[in-house]
A and B are shown apart, each in its own frame.
Chain A
Amino acid sequence: MSGAFRIPGAGRFKQAKTARFSFDGQSYTGIEGDTLASALLANGVHLVGRSFKYHRPRGILSAGAEEPNALVEIKRDAARKTPNVRATVQELYEGLDAQSQNRWPSLSFDLGAVSDVASPLLSAGFYYKTFMWPKAAWKSLYEPKIRAAAGLGVSPDKPDPDHYSSRYAHCDVLVLGGGAAGIAAALAAAETGVRVILADEQAEFGGSLRFESGAKIDGQDGFAWAQAAVAKLAAMDNVRVLPRTTAFGYYAQNFIGLVERVSDHLKAPGHDLARERLWQVRAKRVVLASGAIERHMVFADNDRPGIMLAGAARTYLNHYGVAVGRNVGVYTANDSAYAAAIDLKKAGVNVAAIVDLRDNPTGPVIDEARALGIEVNFGRAVIRAGGKLRVSSMTVQPKNGGGERTIAVDAILMSAGWTPSVHLFSQSRGKVAFNDETKRFVPGTYAQDCVSVGACNGTDGLSATVDEAYAAGAKAAKDAGAKAAKGNKPKVDASESWSRGMLGAAPGAGPDTTVKAFVDFQNDVTAKDIRQAVHEGMRSIEHVKRFTTNGMATDQGKTSNMHGLAIAAETLGKAIPEVGLTTFRAPYTPVTFGAIVSHARGPLFDPTRRTAIHPWAEAQGAVFEDVGQWKRAWYFPKAGEDMHAAVDRECVAVRKTAGLFDASTLGKIEVVGPDAAKFMELLYTNPWEKLEPGRCRYGIMLREDGFIYDDGVVGRLAPDRFHVTTTTGGAPRVMNHMEDYLQTEFPHLNVWLTSITEQWAVIAVQGPKSRDIIAPLVEGIDMSDEALPHMSVREGKICGVPTRLFRMSFTGERGFEVNVPADYGQAVWEALWAEGQKHGAAAYGTEAMHVLRAEKGYIIVGQDTDGTVTPNDAGLDWAVGKKKADFVGIRGMARPDLVAKGRKQLVGLKTKDPKVVLEEGAQIVEDPKQAIPMKMIGHVTSSYWSENCGRSIALALVAGGRERMGETLYVPMPDGVIEVEVTGMVFFDETGGRLNG
């Protein structure tokens, strides 16, 4: 019913409902509780994918997260296509739709498999050797071809419709891994009352108890004990139990990243459910109980579908009730494969033979295998596997040579031993140590407050594991502040124990260069490749890894690293610890971008800042531009107007009558206190002590190196109070710069700094009619030129609300900047707009603002300066207080290179053809006929069409610019050279009379 290979009475899902699913379009039936892998195997399907490089047919190797081969695409709908899903992890649901990858046109007939035949071309280092010349061909020819041929799945082409959530958590003891060790540790910690989180990557807790049929704890079957213990933990208030949750990264100070798969196992997850949840956990103590991963045997054609890890075959039988074949062979260097053979034999599967590389192993499992009538061969190797799309035989030979014998099988279970999962320990910056006796890397020196228990610590046997884990859990709780434990240690009644195994290539992987004995299945790295890397001069394991790509696939070499290392060490003639282990890096298993990004995408990716006047501008049909996080009105097109027409009209209106401009985004900082003027003296180049209250000054801020950092108009409201404005983009860093000096260099000054950017909406009213527009709405401020001259500030009321009214100009016209509390910004704007309409005023945007200021030669810091421009370079020497003894930048700007002749200086440029508008950023040369590369003497910083001037205008940084007035220079462009004349920076109203016009 749910597959011909399902064994009646076996497995743990006897009452489960069936679930229909499809693989490559073919329908199958599985049961709820299956993984896609177990469901396929139940239906006799082993061939599930093609390999990355050689396109060799591949089957299911494992029953867990280490799977290198069985990567499939799971499709829910057009937008929900997930490539590279491990079939061994994906839980089955009704209607699941899976597709194989890396094959064309079909899984059983793949044209790409020609690369298997042509494999001498694709040996170790082939990327580096074959495709690097000619260089130009890499981009156009090689890379697309390799990507198409060797792609790992296809990414979806639509936006991800799912949502992902994110949580922070704190706990006293975080237990990673929910096998016997993790559960025992969690029980010990939880019984003390401290906060415990227990996480496991599987849907069900139990770890290797899923397949260890011989385990008994507290009188129960091991797996049943695990379920009962976890149920007890889950019911405790101080415990959080997280199944389907993988700890992918161990970061500084016990900060752990975990991903919980919330709904990928559900048939139709509602949109109220996140797909995945990112947990960022800070734990006082961490218990690592991550278990061990079985290694395969390295022999010729060990990748044929049907060849799998012995522990995986046992899991499929004991947990899922699935036989992986009807006539299986076993190839091992380790006792654990015997246990698999015994379980399968007892379930009625024929075990053709056990081939054991060891010479004369003894032990209860060996005796039991023999007692069951299984043929056992010692000192022999499987030198070759037969079959292509499915293994059909194994060829056996005494390991020191001799006669071959071929045995027909439909599956081979293999085990070279178990590798402790030290990934998270290693990520925590702990140093592993090599145990020469057991040939394992185990945790050595700890770098963080964590402890490893059980198989990941190299502890063998269930009883020792539970003892160690329970003690470690209790100690972790105590170290985290627990009082005393009051629980009972689980009692192990029966367990299994295995001896060690082997590392590296078995005799069957011999030096024969045509043999493909895979070390890394996912990246198609063979034993031969690793030997070749050493022969070609790679000495460090990190170089061998990169040259062969061993362990660099998405499985990160969980099954292959130790074999690769051992083969490299053997070839180098060195001991394994001398060669060293490659670094383990996060993530432990692949993590979706969705989980990491969580809600921070689309409009929530970055905050959007809008001014109080934004809704009005929007209603007027303004086009906005992004300035940092701000949305600023760029221009206000009327019907039929393009950008140029709108900007021209806005510029003309300002100079003819008046314009209104939303300047709210300007940075604003209030500098207050008895020493406010002293502080301003130190932070700006200008003198401030003598600036009278009620007056304003254009200030320049430098960095200590003497270069311009920011600028803005500063109003002195009172002897102890300055209203400082900064550039829109510069506000946060100027505030930081000021705070830095105030707190650390000038802490003796009695000053407070307050960011007031968002407290005040700012409406610039500029133009000959500006005073006429404002005056009717203002109370308590004398608006006459005598009482309120250019560069002054008054406090009063406008439209009945408080205002700081600046008379200042960034256009060269008579102008005002009306500051009102942000809540009144739009109302005051609308009142001013209504007044403005009587005079024919226009609203203008940032583009017109830029043109108008450029017509007057007013610079924009960050556009006309670039962090290497001094006040002198910018023609702003007049703003530097010559008599001042100190200010930030005073020494830096006196450095020899900064006062040398020939520095780039800001000047104006006029194109010889007034209709030609230069490109900002364009380079400037003296002689356009010189050979390429030409000597560039400067570049254009600002350039616009000026309707008011009837021509184009530009500002530029030019070497020795102020000594070049009237000179002709050249701007070479792709479609011809543009002639320009060097001029002063003021293009309009050179005498400045209009400021009072």
Chain B
Amino acid sequence: MLLIRCPYCEEERPELEFRNAGEAHIARSANMAGESDDDFEKFFFIRSNPKGIIYERWRHMHGCARFFNAVRDTVTDKFVMTYKAGEPKPSKLPGAGK
């Protein structure tokens, strides 16, 4: 069972308290009704599914109930970092040399 750090509770808690909520940083258009078919397809259906670093949303379902973002390595399952919803995608990851 993974330990996940909730950026709101500022604590590492067991995975059981959390729910994954899909890929992060996929913004909903401010002009949703005006989106083209292609743009809607990208927004709703297309996901990156990387081998390696993924940016994803989690919810501290059985804790503070907040949604937040996390950086996880899909190979090792390890969480690199977590941050609050609305914060920008980190440009530099801890432990990454560049």
B-binding residues in A (CB < 8 A): 251-253, 255, 280, 282, 429, 447, 704-705, 736, 739-740, 743-745, 747, 885-886, 890-892, 894-896
Contacts and interface: CB of A to CB of B under 8 A. Distances in A.
Interface of B: 1-3, 14, 19, 21, 28-29, 32-33, 35, 37, 40, 44, 57, 59, 61, 65-67, 76-77, 85-86
Instruction: Give the 6 A-B CB pairs with smallest separation, nearest first.
Output: A743-B67, A255-B1, A252-B2, A253-B3, A891-B32, A744-B85
A740 B21 contact: yes
B74 to A, nearest CB: 13
A397 B63 CA distance: 71
A871 to B, nearest CB: 15
Nearest to B29: A891
B66 A743 contact: yes
A747 B85 contact: yes
Contacts of A251: 1
B86 A252 contact: no
A253 B76 contact: no
Contact of A895 (B32, B33, B40, B77): B40
B1 A252 contact: yes
Nearest to B45: A705
A736 to B, nearest CB: 7
Contact of B40 (A252, A736, A743, A892): A892
Given A280-B1, A886-B33, 7 more contacts: A705-B44, A736-B61, A740-B59, A744-B57, A747-B86, A892-B44, A896-B37
A704 B86 contact: no
A743 B57 CA distance: 12
Contacts of A282: 3, 14
Contacts of B35: 891
Nearest to A740: B67
B62 to A, nearest CB: 12
Contacts of B67: 739-740, 743-744
Contacts, number: 52
B2 A253 contact: yes
A744 B24 CA distance: 10
A711 to B, nearest CB: 21
B66 to A, nearest CB: 6
Contact of B59 (A252, A736, A886, A895): A736
Contacts of B3: 252-253, 282
Nearest to B19: A736
B27 to A, nearest CB: 8
B86 A744 contact: yes
Contacts of B77: 252
A890 B85 contact: no
Contacts of A280: 1
A282 B1 CA distance: 9
A167 to B, nearest CB: 15
A736 B18 CA distance: 13
A750 to B, nearest CB: 15
Contacts of A892: 40, 44
A125 to B, nearest CB: 33
Contacts of A705: 44
Nearest to A745: B28
Nearest to B33: A890
A745 B28 CA distance: 7
Contacts of A885: 33
Most buried by B among A252, A885, A892, A896: A252
Contacts of B86: 744, 747
Contacts of B76: 429, 447
Contacts of B61: 736
A447 B85 CA distance: 30
B85 A891 contact: no
Contacts of B32: 886, 890-891
A429 B77 CA distance: 11
Contacts of B28: 704, 745
Nearest to A887: B32
A252 B16 CA distance: 13
A886 B29 CA distance: 10
In this complex, the member of A447, A744, A886 whose beta carbon has the largest number of chain B beta carbons within 10 angstroms is: A744
Given A704-B44, A744-B85, A891 B33 contact: yes
Nearest to A732: B61
A252 B4 CA distance: 11
A822 B76 CA distance: 48
Contacts of B37: 895-896
A148 B78 CA distance: 45
A705 B44 CA distance: 7
30 contacts: A251-B1, A252-B1, A252-B3, A252-B77, A253-B2, A253-B3, A255-B1, A282-B3, A704-B28, A736-B19, A736-B61, A739-B59, A740-B21, A740-B59, A740-B67, A743-B66, A743-B67, A744-B85, A744-B86, A745-B28, A747-B85, A747-B86, A886-B32, A890-B33, A891-B33, A891-B35, A892-B40, A892-B44, A895-B40, A896-B37
Contacts of A896: 37
Which of B3, B28, B29, B35 has the largest count of A CB atoms less than 10 A from its CB? B28
B34 to A, nearest CB: 8
Contacts of A894: 33
Nearest to A253: B3
Contacts of A429: 76
Contacts of B29: 891
Contacts of A886: 32-33
A855 B43 CA distance: 40
Nearest to B75: A429
A927 B29 CA distance: 46
A739 B14 CA distance: 22
Contacts of A739: 59, 65, 67
A885 B29 CA distance: 12
Contacts of B21: 740
A705 B76 CA distance: 33
B22 to A, nearest CB: 10
Nearest to B65: A739
B43 to A, nearest CB: 8
A892 B45 CA distance: 11
A739 B29 CA distance: 18
Given A251-B1, A252-B2, A892-B40, A743 B33 contact: no
B14 to A, nearest CB: 8
A885 B33 CA distance: 7
A6 B37 CA distance: 84
B29 to A, nearest CB: 8
A895 B1 CA distance: 41
Contacts of B14: 282
A253 B76 CA distance: 11
A183 B67 CA distance: 45
Contacts of B59: 736, 739-740
Contacts of A743: 66-67, 85
A894 B33 CA distance: 9
A454 B67 CA distance: 45
